[in-house]
Structure 1
């Protein structure tokens, strides 16, 4: 009986020692990873992509400023559209004529700044999309997990910067339109209203900022190595071997 107890105790000690040796280098992944994190990355990237498409739309469409139908302009036969690259005139018959601006220096300051900022926003957001795809959990462009996390956070920063770069010219142009609309020194024919591009720009910048914030929220902790699981073998009572 005593011999069996002695053998069982030694077997238990050997098993616990073996388990401690095998699991010494085992680390547990931090909470919040896996499917949920991948879903947030995909959602954030999708939002940024839609915002990036919105940037392209507002850059191309000449709908930043449109004719204000007030006073005698209600019965006007022409509608004026102004964009970053051209202005268009739509007749009451439905015919439309567009003309590219002859000189960039002849543009108002808000549209000149909008040209540069919107183009930079498009490029910055595009780089962010590339980084988000490269650092995504569903891709194998980068093998190291810590490097992937840093790339994803960098993509989030690019999205935030792109959204702000899009938001600045849109708000600036909207402020100019509203100020001119209530300026008594301007005639009714010179006054404009907010065009569709401004509303699209607000939505696009919001999507980029939200997408960037979601990616930046996944910033890895400084001790991202996880925590080690340690096992300690129980001490056998001295009387068990007697």
Structure 2
């Protein structure tokens, strides 16, 4: 396909990686990781995130409060904080490293090896960023499911459920992994395009002139 060039693949990888980075950054600070609605008081909705817990009421609106102590947080939220910050950091480095490695960017124009190395480095960082986004979201999702089906809690007791940030986190993590994969695809396409034409090892077919001897019987 004509439009599927190395240059287009590199820019697609950068665009997907940047989109995943922005989504992961928003997910990190959203307070909607978990939500809870009490059957006894349906006008109140509780939301929980990595940094804040919020209460929504129809009269007042949404009110958020930061956690008072990090040590008071559950272990899954503490781990998720660290992993999400690592994800945002590595994702940002992936975008910064990939930009000078793009074709058409004047940085390192006469050093194709450095450009190739930057794209590979960006792909690795994007993979790390994606995995460190998917891991905390999956951990919180697992603990939420376990607590929701815990038979030790009374049935009338409200329980946490999935919030919108969980799905945006999965989307951002997958986008980062896909972006990193596209960087490697772009490197392979560039290596294939710069490969010298192969020399055929098969012997050349020589078209000779056939001579026929005409015999006359005397």
* TM-score category (smaller protein): 0.7 to 0.9
Task: Give yes or no for contact 2:14–2:95 (8 Å, CA) kept in 1.
Answer: yes
Change (3 A) 1:222 1:137: closer
List structure 1 runs of 4+ shifted beyond 6 angstroms: 221-225
Counterpart among 56, 61, 86 of residue 95 in structure 1: 61
Distance 1:223 1:42 in 2: 18
- What TM-score do the two structures reach when normalised by structure 1? 0.74
**Deviation of residue 141 (structure 1)?**
1.3
Equivalence map 1:212-227=2 (5 Å):
212-219=180-187, 226-227=195-196
Counterpart among 90, 101, 120 of residue 153 in structure 1: 120
Deviation readout 1:17-48 (Å, 9 max, x if unpaired)? xxxxxxxxxxxxxxx9x970110111111011
**Deviation of residue 119 (structure 1)?**
0.6
Match of 2:212 in 1: none
Identify the range of structure 1 (94-103 vs 49-58) with the bigger mean alpha-carbon deviation: 94-103
Match of 2:106 in 1: 140
Deviation readout 1:168-212 (Å, 9 max, x if unpaired)? 000000011111111111244341110111000000001000010
Instruction: Kindly indicate which of the two structures has a greater share of residues assigned to helix.
Output: 1
Distance 1:193 1:68 in 2: 9
Q: Does 1:169 align with 2:120?
A: no
Task: Give yes or no for contact 2:37–2:46 (8 Å, CA) kept in 1.
Answer: no
Q: Does 1:108 align with 2:77?
A: no
Counterpart among 130, 149, 169 of residue 201 in structure 1: 169
Q: Give the alignment's Cα RMSD to 1 decimal.
A: 2.5
Distance 2:187 2:96 in 1: 18
Count of residues paired in the alignment: 196
Distance 1:107 1:94 in 2: 26
Match of 1:63 in 2: 32
Change (3 A) 1:229 1:196: closer
Deviation readout 1:79-117 (Å, 9 max, x if unpaired)? 110011110011132522211100011111111111110
- What TM-score do the two structures reach when normalised by structure 2? 0.82
Change (3 A) 1:35 1:183: closer
2:103 is paired with a residue whose SS is: coil
Distance 2:92 2:15 in 1: 12
Task: Give yes or no for contact 2:37–2:44 (8 Å, CA) kept in 1.
Answer: no
Task: Give yes or no for contact 1:150–1:219 (8 Å, CA) kept in 2.
Answer: no
Distance 1:195 1:228 in 2: 55
**Deviation of residue 228 (structure 1)?**
7.0
